[in-house]
Amino acid sequence: MLELRVADVATPCAGVRSVTLVGDGPLPSYPPGAHVGLEWAPGRLNPYSLTPTPSPRGPTPRDLPPGLDPEEYHLSIALRPDGEGGSRRVHALAPGDRVRATPPRSSFPPVGTAAHHVLVAGGIGVTPVLAHAAWHAFWGNSFEVLLVQRPGVTPHAADLRALAGDRLARATDRTAVPALLDEALRGAPWNSHVYTCGPPGLIAAVAATARRAHWVADRVHAEPFVHAPATGTPFTAVLRRSGREVAVGAGESLLDALDRAGVAAPRLCRQGVCGECVTEVAAGRVEHRDTVLGDDERDGHMALCVSRAAVGETVELQL
């Protein structure tokens, strides 16, 4: 874990807090679209995207690759009053406060072979998209940005404009989104990739538009910032080490149920992507919903955050 100090806080727009974190000297480099897991309560981490260092000349100095040997980490976090508490804790941070975070994790990188990158951002999803845009601007890659914005609530809109110039298109009205996506994706040059960060509805709309324009799935990338609930049929998990039984309700994930029972389990993305919560399964068939385990690894392991026992099964975990 990195021991960091809050150097500055700002409110770029209503409901969003930007936080500048520093360490002792340069911090670990990170790829575009990377996040850190910020510890908001002991053992509880939330992933937040790293955005490029702002500067008077734009969001990043053009003379150094974004993400290389940063002096500071910049995060912008939307307040979720009904969330578990992570965003409320971040919004309460003040300069001088100490926080702990994982080193950068990469889950949403650009595809280097693309001839053109279409970046789609909705709401606070602008944060990794900003990092992608800064990266492409530095390396001279072809890109465009589609920003779905409700007036007044998108941070970094000015930063994006500074980076992307006339390569930025905006929809401020929900009804304008389909046409914006359609035009961009049907007209995208050969060998484009599209990257979306935003609410599930926007991600689904981009995927559907791309599919209609005959894009193959490997060209469509997304990072959801609202966790899809890992719900399903209730089941029981037996913890081998303690012999305890934990009942998992229909409306919660196995990880939620373990939290409720006070059982410590590692986790980070809570989307079945990062692999942090992968746990050994001693018995019971699993309905796998993650995207991290290979077929041979699924035999005997599960991602606690999204996967569940198969209907009618009990899973026994090495926990």
Is the CB of residue 157 less than 8 Å from the CB of residue 147?
Answer: yes
Task: Output 188 or 315, the one with its CB closest to another protein.
Answer: 188
Q: Please report how close the Cβ of residue 307 comes to another protein at its closest, in angstroms.
A: 16
Strand partners, 78: 16
Of residues 6, 7, 13, 28, which one binds another protein by CB under 8 A? 28
Tell me how far apart the alpha carbons of residues 302 and 78 are, in angstroms, rounded to a whole number: 30
Interacting residues of 46 by C-beta distance below 8 A, sequence separation 6+: 37, 38, 40, 86, 87, 90
Task: Output 48 or 138, the one with its CB closest to another protein.
Answer: 138
Question: x/- contact string, 213-252, with another protein (CB under 8 A)?
Answer: xxxx-xx---------------------------------
| HSE-up of residue 80 (Cα within 13 Å, Cβ side) | 14
Element (H, E) at 259: helix 254-260
Task: Output 82 or 296, the one with its CB closest to another protein.
Answer: 296
Interacting residues of 286 by C-beta distance below 8 A, sequence separation 6+: 298, 302, 307, 308, 309, 310, 313, 315
Strand 116-122 to strand 192-198: parallel, antiparallel, or no bridges (unpaired)? parallel
- Interacting span for another protein (CB under 8 A) from 121-129, 189-197, 247-255, 311-319: 189-197
* Number of residues binding to another protein, judged by CB under 8 A: 45
Task: Output 34 or 248, the one with its CB closest to another protein.
Answer: 34
Of residues 8, 139, 245, 299, which one binds another protein by CB under 8 A? 139
| SS3 call for 184 | helix
| Contacting residues toward another protein, per CB under 8 A | 26, 28-31, 34, 63-65, 67-69, 103-106, 109, 111-115, 138-139, 185-192, 212-216, 218-219, 275, 292-294, 296-297
